[in-house]
Amino acid sequence: MCGRYRLTAKERYIAEHFGVDEAEVHWSARYNLAPTQEVAVIRQDRKEPKRHFSLMRWGLIPYWSKDASIAARTINAMAETVAEKPTFRDAVRKNRCLIPADGFYEWKKLGAKEKQPYNIGMRDDGLFAFAGLWDRWKTPGGDIWETCSVITTDANSLLQPIHTRMPVILKPEDYDSWLDPGIQDPVRVEDLLKPFDAQRMKIYPLSSRVSNVNNDDPECIREVPPAAEAAPMLF
């Protein structure tokens, strides 16, 4: 799964990488993004081939939902079932987006109570994009919320020792296809929802600081020596 990540790049680099107008990009470095928070999203205009930067709440609420409680269960959508699940099937046809990041976090279980957090990203520490979905929901009070979800797939060889799942990371050359509002058959984009090339990525251990969502600073991504795994109990 993907339940925590970071986007620390400067606004001009986000604009350049994703081909959006820099004037639209309003973002300050975030080192510990978590569900329910506002995150950056890139989507394409339905009337012209132009990309736009937006802010959305992380945790998708489908337009037909009666309340917002569903968002706690929709921070991720599984690639294998996204086209079938009622929560996501309309979004994968009509509301696909990119969710910019420059790293994400996963925790490896070391013992009964101890876990080691890891930072995962590109070898060059560059920007990349999760395959995302978004929707627009009207609250009982009449406010409009735009919300999003990160699609996940099987872990690649880099992540397998830590977790069975990973976010779908799209290649830049596939951004256009994923965003294209003219493609409404999920079959035409399902080949994009695969594990990213492990050789283009890197991973390193972090301190437990990143485990606390209230910590959001450069210390969250400082590399530390890996903790020792607990020895198995002998009977």
Nearest to 102 by CA among 18, 180, 164, 181: 18
Helix (H/G/I), strand (E/B), else coil: 125: coil
> How far apart (Å, rounded) are the C-alpha atoms in residues 126 and 188?
28
> How far apart (Å, rounded) are the C-alpha atoms in residues 135 and 18?
20
> How far apart (Å, rounded) are the C-alpha atoms in residues 92 and 61?
13
> How far apart (Å, rounded) are the C-alpha atoms in residues 33 and 114?
22
> How far apart (Å, rounded) are the C-alpha atoms in residues 199 and 66?
44
Q: Which residue numbers are catalytic? A: 2, 106
The conformation of residue 226, written as its DSSP 8-state character, comes to: P
> How far apart (Å, rounded) are the C-alpha atoms in residues 157 and 179?
27
In Å, what is the CA distance from 206 to each residue of 78, 118, 157, 167, 230? 27, 5, 20, 19, 18
Would you give the end-to-end CA distance of the chain in angstroms?
A: 34
Task: Confirm if 60 and 74 have CB atoms less than 8 A apart.
Answer: yes
